[in-house]
Structure 1
Amino acid sequence: MPKDFRATTLERSIGRRLALWRDERGLSLAEAGQRVGFSSAKLSTMENAVQPSTPLDIMALGYVYNVPTPEWQAVVLRAEYAKTARMGGGSAEPHFDPTADFANLVFEATELRAFTTDLVPTGLQLPSYAHAAGSPERIVQLAMVREAWATRLGDKDPPMVEAVFPEGVLRPVVGGPRVMKAQLLHLMEISEHSTVTVQVIPVVAGAYPAMGCPFTLLGFPHRQHNDVAYLETVIKGEYVEDQALVEQLAQRFAELQKIALSPGESLELIAEAAADL
């Protein structure tokens, strides 16, 4: 294992796929490890991306699990790319879609910090609001992200969620007055959750850092899984994994929180917007 290994989002997606193969066959770590000749500890570190998965090991698992050849070959190619990228070579992996993968990271995160500019953060949206605001091809992906957020917030150990957005998000009547009012009331309700903080940047604040540039920061419990930033445009989603850039975005988020109204004042502003509908 590389010294001080830090798994990339691509390597984490490979680990999830290996775990999915095993789960689909109803095998425990010990049973699967015995079949392939791995210790259960090694298999666990591969599935959790605590160590890189080598193409040979993936090939062995694909054979033992009786995975269709094209499927395990595709994962082997990803592992080969990940190894090349770690050594400083390669370009963007063509078969890895951060937009489709984002819900997985949301589910694994212990800290979520979201800054949006036009809409309520995805995880805090109601289905009716999301349906009115999203494009048809994004509806399923948005639903997966919402489900991941909702599931985690209902856990015994829910993630810390911090959301910041401008007052302008509260004013457009997305989906009609009934849908928008329900969304604002939902924001008020969820903001009372002990691990959720919602702050609104008032119009009078003027210009502010990262204006027009939404992003989400995700933090994870495992030491070998670095914080990740997720950016999305109308065309595609993108992960930012360079830790210097992630830290810059974290500083921007802290600045946005200072400019925004307090959670209590933000709640009052949301309530006023709901009353106006």
Structure 2
Amino acid sequence: MPKDFRATTLERAIGRQLAGWRAERDLSLAEAGQRVGFSSAKLSMMENAVQPSVPVDVMALGYVYQVPTPEWQAVLLRVQYAEQARVRVQTNGPNFDPAADFANLVYEATSLRVFTTDLVPTVLQLPGYTSRVMQNDDPVRTARLAMVREAWAARLSDRDPLAVHAVFPEAVLRHAIGGPRVMKAQLLHLMEVSGHEAVSVQVVPRDTGPYPAMGSPFTLLGFPHRQHNDVAYLETFIKGEYVEEPGLTERCAQRFASLQDVALGAGESLELIAQATAELEQVVRTCS
């Protein structure tokens, strides 16, 4: 067993699968262990992911339990993957941080489809808005967001500018980040950039009800070279993650298209942004 073993969620799922096989055959730990030549303690530790399962043991259990070959082979692949993943973690893996690299992809991309749930998309934020959002956050992450915004700004005046398609719920317009003045400036900026031919802003109105990808923000980037597949980027305050498997990025593309279908058109969205801006102007005047 690896020193100071800590089971991953995958290894725990494997353990549950092994326990499920035994339960389906109505065997006790002692009975199953006797048939396969394991101690009941070892089998219990495998099922509870107290120790890692190894391929040869999974093969033995599959044979003794008479599990259909495709089923035990699928579990065997998971065991092998979990084993390789643990080695990568123990050796610290490649020194690559998607959150730190994301600004580079924004600079290289030709299209960016972004769906946010709480905030104005990073590339469309003003510095004042970003700083208020991140005022209690990690300064490194704040700097990275600024790099993303700057990467897009640098592309806006290119002969081949980065095409940005943004969708977000109306709640983003109503959440006065940094107070009325900061938010008003941000909304005015949204109105300004949405007039650029390379920028599309669509708002999902609050009376829409449930809609695709609700609560699951993501960014999908497309690139000019045929050898470079689309990349989806997901981020939390803990880390950023790239998703590159074509089947998954295609699902993101389909989900984004569905979001565009339920959102207001560009013209109606601009009207809604203007309405929210006017409401903030009234608040600013009242507070003056």
1:170 matched residue in structure 2: 173
| Cα deviation code 1:72-126 (max 9, x no counterpart) | xxxxxxxxxxxxxxxxx65574521100000000000001000000000000000
Establish whether residue 159 from structure 1 lines up as the match of residue 162 from structure 2.
yes
1:241 matched residue in structure 2: 244
Query: Under a length normalisation based on structure 1, what TM-score does the superposition of the two structures give?
Result: 0.67
**How do 1:187-202 residues align onto structure 2 when only pairs under 5 Å count?**
187-202=190-205
Structure 1 range deviating more: 136-145 or 166-175: 136-145
Residue 189 of structure 1 aligns to which amino acid in structure 2?
E
2:125 matched residue in structure 1: 125
d(CA) in 1 for partners of 2:184 and 2:273? 10
Structure 1 range deviating more: 201-210 or 131-140: 131-140
2:186 matched residue in structure 1: 183
**How do 1:3-42 residues align onto structure 2 when only pairs under 5 Å count?**
none
Establish whether residue 147 from structure 1 lines up as the match of residue 150 from structure 2.
yes
Count residues in correspondence. Answer: 190
1:44 matched residue in structure 2: none
| Cα deviation code 1:152-204 (max 9, x no counterpart) | 11111102110000000001110111110000000000000011100000011
d(CA) in 1 for partners of 2:94 and 2:216? 25
Query: Under a length normalisation based on structure 2, what TM-score does the superposition of the two structures give?
Result: 0.64
1:104 matched residue in structure 2: 104
d(CA) in 2 for partners of 1:272 and 1:201? 15
d(CA) in 2 for partners of 1:229 and 1:270? 27
Identity %: 69
d(CA) in 2 for partners of 1:176 and 1:168? 15
Deviation at 1:137, TM superposition (A): 3.1
Q: Please, what is the CA RMSD of the aligned residues?
A: 1.4
2:65 matched residue in structure 1: none
Deviation at 1:233, TM superposition (A): 1.0
List alignment gaps of at least 5 residues for structure 1. Answer: 1-88
DSSP 3-state at the match of 2:256:
helix
| Cα deviation code 1:55-86 (max 9, x no counterpart) | xxxxxxxxxxxxxxxxxxxxxxxxxxxxxxxx
DSSP 3-state at the match of 1:276:
helix
Establish whether residue 217 from structure 1 lines up as the match of residue 220 from structure 2.
yes
DSSP 3-state at the match of 1:205:
coil
d(CA) in 2 for partners of 1:267 and 1:246? 29
d(CA) in 2 for partners of 1:214 and 1:153? 23
List alignment gaps of at least 5 residues for structure 2. Answer: 1-83, 281-288
Establish whether residue 116 from structure 1 lines up as the match of residue 87 from structure 2.
no
Deviation at 1:245, TM superposition (A): 0.3
Residue 101 of structure 1 aligns to which amino acid in structure 2?
D
Residue 131 of structure 2 aligns to which amino acid in structure 1?
H
d(CA) in 2 for partners of 1:203 and 1:258? 15
1:260 matched residue in structure 2: 263
d(CA) in 2 for partners of 1:181 and 1:138? 24
d(CA) in 2 for partners of 1:147 and 1:243? 28
